[in-house]
Amino acid sequence: MRFVDIINKKREKQPLTTEEIQFWIDGYVKNEIPDYQVSALCMAIVLNGMEPREISDLTKAMMNSGEVMDLSSIEGIKIDKHSTGGVGDKTSLALMPMVSSCGAKVAKMSGRGLGHTGGTLDKLESIQNFNIFLDDDAFAKQVNDISIAIIGQTAQLVPADKKLYALRDVTGTVQSIPLIASSIMSKKLASGADTILLDVKYGDGAFMHTPEEAIELAKTMIQIGKDCGRDTRAMITDMNQPLGHAIGNALEVKEAIDTLKGQGPKDFTELCYTAGSIILQQAKIVNDEASAREMLEKAVEDGRALNKLKEMVQAQGGCVDQIDHPERLPQAKMVVEMRAHKNGYLDQVKALALGTLAMKLGAGRATKEDPINYAVGIVLNKKVGDSIQEGDIIAYVHTDEELSTEWIKEFYETFLILPEPVSREPLIYQIL
């Protein structure tokens, strides 16, 4: 089999066979096929797409390119959730303790942040001494003992995706539903959970720019899950403004703690309850959404949800005192109040630009090697639809250095204030 023939075949819009896809992935992982040939094939896929069978074959080949987790030693239905990434997306920090406190088994592997999207692992590591590295036996034991563990992906998990993603990132081939879907689902399937809930985001701060694109991606991933025998469902959610108020690692941990106390932002709380209701049904703990929601609200109200976060932090070596006293989480040297320059109604908060501005403060990485400053970030005081008076505080910037004139200019450009009232779009567009 010659790889150039595979490139030519996809260039001519023909489907690749299962054997050709396996040849590609095996050869690339073994360094037998060069980057320049694989990038040519990826571009052909971007332009010509793949059929559902091809996408499933690609996902399975990638999934089996390295270690596949065996979670059979964990009792019960193992649940997992994945977000396609956004600004202020700290959902796992609140949602996973909520559902775990209701009896769901959370065996979750998460990633780091890059660019404007934050990573769950970076947020957890803003808690002093929190250990994201557990071996397979310790991971399974913790989930059996306390029903929850969130850890980093092992280096042996889906090596094909690590190589492919790095290549796609520098060859203009990231924006492709077959390649995005197979990348996400190969990691989720290799992580070994029985059920997967996908939070597929669209808008300014997301990979998918429209609800229609997000729905197409979600349906593709649901089909892959079905082909692999996993209960896979999806939420389509709006990322045209940051989720919740906080952007930045320790700031988002604090907001997750507030949410577990029942004091979180309305949009973030609603997302957690809606996602949690789906997960509890996937875990067969309840049969309907109303019962699930009531169970989640009660777990927050009586403190079980917050206690579950503390149990996980303690089990993974973290400082529980910082959960009880969030003011002891990393703190920036100064907090700058950003005030409105005119009256009106907030029509737009550009999520991507705010995420990038937080990264420039040190809250995120421009490259994988960049260090993270856990303390810095932005906390919004106004959301789309809110009325604003000149002089109102629209955000608090937590920073270790004086803000430059250019940074401040870019910050104000992310907000659009109009004279007339504006409507709020629903956060949850559709559930599939």
Q: For residue 260, what pLDDT is reported?
A: 97
Residue 295: pLDDT over 80: yes
User: Whole-angstrom Cα distance, residue 29 to residue 322?
Assistant: 42
Residue with tokens 């992310």: 414
206 has a pLDDT exceeding 70: yes
The answer to whether residues 148 and 106 touch, using CB atoms and an 8 Å cutoff, is yes
Q: What is the pLDDT of residue 372?
A: 85
- pLDDT of 34 above 70: yes
Task: Give the chain's length.
Answer: 432
Note the pLDDT of residue 70. Answer: 86
pLDDT(336) > 90: yes
pLDDT (0 to 100) of residue 96: 96
What average pLDDT does range 77-86 have in this prediction? Answer: 88
Q: Residues 372-395: pLDDT tens digits?
A: 899 999 999 999 999 999 999 999
Burial 112-121 (b: 16+ CB within 10 A, else e): bbbebbbbbb
Report the pLDDT value the prediction gives residue 166, as an integer from 0 to 100. Answer: 80
- What is the structure's pLDDT at 154? 75
pLDDT, tens digit (0-9, with 9 covering 90-100), for 238-287: 998 999 999 999 999 999 999 999 999 999 999 999 999 999 999 999 99
Tens digit of each residue's pLDDT (9 = 90 or more) over 404-427: 999 999 999 999 999 999 988 899
Residue that wins the pLDDT comparison between 20 and 165: 20
Position 415 scores a pLDDT of 94
pLDDT at 118: 63
pLDDT surpasses 80 at 368: no
15 or 121: which carries more pLDDT confidence? 15
Give the least confident one: 165-169, 184-188, 228-232, 392-396: 165-169
Average pLDDT over the chain, rounded to whole? 92
Give me the active site residues, please: 82, 161, 168, 183, 187
d(CA 370, CA 196): 31
Region 309-323: what's the mean pLDDT? 96
What is the DSSP annotation of 366-402?
SSTT----TT-EEEES--TT-EE-TT-EEEEEEESSP
What whole-number percentage of the chain has pLDDT above 90? 74
Confidence of residue 367 (pLDDT cuts 50, 70, 90): low
Task: Kindly state the tokens that stand for 221.
Answer: 């991933």
Whether 5 has a pLDDT exceeding 60, the answer reads: yes
Q: What is the pLDDT of residues 104-131, one digit of tens each?
A: 999 988 876 655 556 788 899 999 999 9
